[in-house]
Chains A and B, each alone.
Chain A
Amino acid sequence: MNGEPRKRISERALSVWRIYGMIGWAVSFIAFATVIALLIIFDGPKWIIPILVILLLGEGYFFIFFIPTLRWRRWRYEVREQEIEIQKGLFVMKRTLIPMIRVQHVDSSQGPLLKKYKLASVTIFTAATVHEIPALDEGEAEELRYHISRLARVADEDV
């Protein structure tokens, strides 16, 4: 579809997502390592080990490199005078349109990891739905929240 939203989220988001991926990978590394250790100790079938190693490496590549990159590349948003548009999706491409007059309020939030990378996320609430723009630059997030909050109030109904 043409007329995609123009803005991308911060490139530092990529690093944060990679770290999330690494944390997940570390957990499965421990699990896989335990299974392999048990196989060796109890003299289980050895042919499973290379399969497990490949699976683990595959998972690592997938969740640390492939998915974050794809996700970042797909993520776009644009805040216009009368509406907010969001585009995202890994395997299912989604485009969402939120009219400014429907915005109820806007949150911004920042966890420890996001804070370290000077990032923050913005969440937009309508009366029915919730939409998140993750990992924006701190200042940008603040500005965006301010901006949306401003526009959301100015835009009165044009019934």
Chain B
Amino acid sequence: MKMSEKKRLHPISVIANILKQLKDAFLPLILVIIIGNKTVSSMWDITVPLAVVVYTIVIGIVSWLRFTYWLEEGELRIEYGVFVRKKRYIPFERIQGISISEGFLQRMVGVVKVNVETAGHQPGEAEAVLTAVTRKEAKQLQRLIQKSKEKTEEIAEILPREESTASFLPNDQGLEQEEKNIIFSMNFWEIFQVALTSGGAFGVISAIFLFATQFDELIPYEKLYKDAQTFIAHGVFYTAVVILLIFIAAYIISVIQNMLRYAFFTVEKIGENIIISRGLLERKKIAIPIERVQGIVIKENIIRRWFGYASVYVIHAGGAFNEGDHGSIVLCPLIKKERIASVILSCLPEYSLNLKFIAPPKRACIRYMLRPLYVLLFPVCIAAFWLRPWGLLLLLLLSIASYFGYLSYQDAGWAISNHQLALRSRLLSVRTVYMLKNRIQSMEASCNWFQQRQRLGTIMATVMSGTGGAGGKVVDLDQKDIQTIYTWFKRTKGN
């Protein structure tokens, strides 16, 4: 069987497509029928669903006709799309894994479904799906990709390649002589401190709120609102007390939660893996292959910063098919700032933390101080007017917000060394991201009209998909500095 010819999927995929489409259209369709029942014409009842069904069938067939795939020049090539024609070419080397599955439909005609996954932007979502191919073809595809993998592995022996699939079984290396040492651990007192300063109360409150909204049908809100209205009428003081009590309760819950979560927290280095284990009731163990670490994040929240403590996270890229955890993983929940460098040195020696950060220029200060006001100014003014005369005290909030803006100006900065970029920014807590040059996926320098006038700009570097632990960003740096960072990342020099 030649794989280099353009070919279509097994026709069973037409049915699979149609069924999937119908499943998606099911709810709206029911809705249309129900609404249709209330109107007079009975034609409507039949025509709309019929039109939808005919449409899905036609689309199902056409999209099957248009979907072709083949292997050529070491790439899996797919062309598809009914209205918008799309071509997707995936080099074998970039394919992280192939999973073969068979659903009910596939089994009926003896074919399989193939999911092709790369180190994609959306973990867990396959980059390409071949809904129905013969088992033989699937095997062949698997073999071909394996072969090209091996080829690159040979290169990998000379050049350490980060993209090679990670081994998640530290036991496999157990036969080799391995160094095993505890890098970091926490005693009871430290864990208690973590729990106290974690600020998880907001998390608990929002969880309660979420929980409440899940059952909004059961809870008699209208009655509650009425009660609340009479209650509030009794005085702002009582309301404040109740809110305070809720906060205290939530705080205590979050402290207990965190105590349980971080109990017996230890970090070990076994061979080329960092092993983090924690938890009292539920013992959790996370293995992070060092080659999958995309960056280090150091966070200092307000309270911890006060006492000279911080928490350290690693940005972990995960593996193919959602193997292992993905995202920011806490390495040290609470650590004296002076100790961080030594911990990092013992597990991730490629990173260097002792850097001198370069701050944004003085002229950026005013922009930093004004930034929190953009969002706050309007609601606060309205609230102040509404609750006057005492509400005018709310205006103090604006100056506090502005002060935090000033703090973020003071703490922002960047530092580059030969192979590493560090970006530091602050919202409420200070966040410093350390990224190796060869781990940065893309870099963006931007400047808007206002920044342009003051020769300022924003720099952003991304090491992983997703929000949160995705990378670093610093606003309002000097454009010369931006240029320096940008050129540092550029591989084509003298341009």
Q: Is the CB of A97 within 8 A of B462?
A: no
Count of inter-chain pairs, beta carbons less than 8 A:
148
Q: Which residues of B contact A110 (CB under 8 A)?
A: 84-86
| B454 interface contact, C-beta 8 A | no
Partner of B91, one of A98, A102, A153, A158: A153
Which 9 pairs of residues, A with B, have the shortest CB-CB distance? A82-B491, A128-B441, A127-B119, A109-B86, A94-B446, A92-B448, A111-B84, A126-B441, A128-B465
Interface residues of B in 437-495 (CB under 8 A from A): 438, 440-449, 452, 462-465, 470-471, 479, 482-483, 486, 489-492, 495
Q: Which residues of B contact A20 (CB under 8 A)?
A: none
On whether A128 and B486 interact (CB within 8 A), knowing A91-B449, A109-B87, A149-B89, the answer reads no
| B1 interface contact, C-beta 8 A | no
The residue in chain A whose Cβ has the minimal distance to the Cβ of B92 is: A153
CA distance A31 to B489 in the complex (A): 49
CA distance A111 to B81 in the complex (A): 9
CA distance A52 to B75 in the complex (A): 55
Shortest CB distance B83–A (Å): 6
Q: Which residues of B contact A156 (CB under 8 A)?
A: 152, 155, 159, 161
| B20 interface contact, C-beta 8 A | no
Interface string of A143-159 (1 = CB under 8 A from B): 00100010011001111
Q: Is the CB of B492 within 8 A of A83?
A: yes
| A27 interface contact, C-beta 8 A | no
Q: Is the CB of A95 within 8 A of B444?
A: yes
Q: Is the CB of B444 within 8 A of A128?
A: no
Shortest CB distance B453–A (Å): 13
Chain A residues proximal to chain B, CB less than 8 Å: 1-3, 80-83, 85, 89, 91-102, 104-112, 115, 125-131, 145, 149, 152-153, 156-159
Q: Is the CB of A104 within 8 A of B74?
A: no
Q: Is the CB of A130 within 8 A of B121?
A: yes
Q: Which residues of A contact B440 (CB under 8 A)?
A: 99, 102
Q: Can you list 22 A-B contacts with CB-CB less than 8 angstroms, sorted by A residue number?
A: A82-B492, A92-B449, A93-B448, A94-B445, A96-B444, A97-B442, A99-B489, A101-B438, A104-B94, A105-B91, A109-B84, A125-B121, A125-B127, A128-B442, A128-B464, A129-B462, A145-B87, A153-B91, A156-B161, A157-B160, A157-B163, A159-B438
Q: Is the CB of A105 within 8 A of B90?
A: yes
| B371 interface contact, C-beta 8 A | no
Q: How large is the interface on B (under 10, 10 to 19, 20 to 34, 35 or more residues)?
A: 35 or more
Q: Which residues of B contact A91 (CB under 8 A)?
A: 448-449
Q: Which residues of B contact A97 (CB under 8 A)?
A: 442-444, 486, 489-490
Q: Is the CB of B486 within 8 A of A83?
A: no
| B120 interface contact, C-beta 8 A | yes
Q: Is the CB of A89 within 8 A of B446?
A: yes
Q: Is the CB of B83 within 8 A of A112?
A: yes
Q: Is the CB of A104 within 8 A of B486?
A: no
CA distance A106 to B440 in the complex (A): 19
Q: Is the CB of B119 within 8 A of A95?
A: no
On whether A1 and B161 interact (CB within 8 A), knowing A107-B88, A125-B121, the answer reads no
Q: Which residues of A contact B81 (CB under 8 A)?
A: 109
CA distance A100 to B93 in the complex (A): 14
| B317 interface contact, C-beta 8 A | yes
CA distance A145 to B90 in the complex (A): 11
CA distance A2 to B479 in the complex (A): 11
Q: Is the CB of A95 within 8 A of B486?
A: yes
CA distance A18 to B158 in the complex (A): 53
Shortest CB distance A76–B (Å): 13
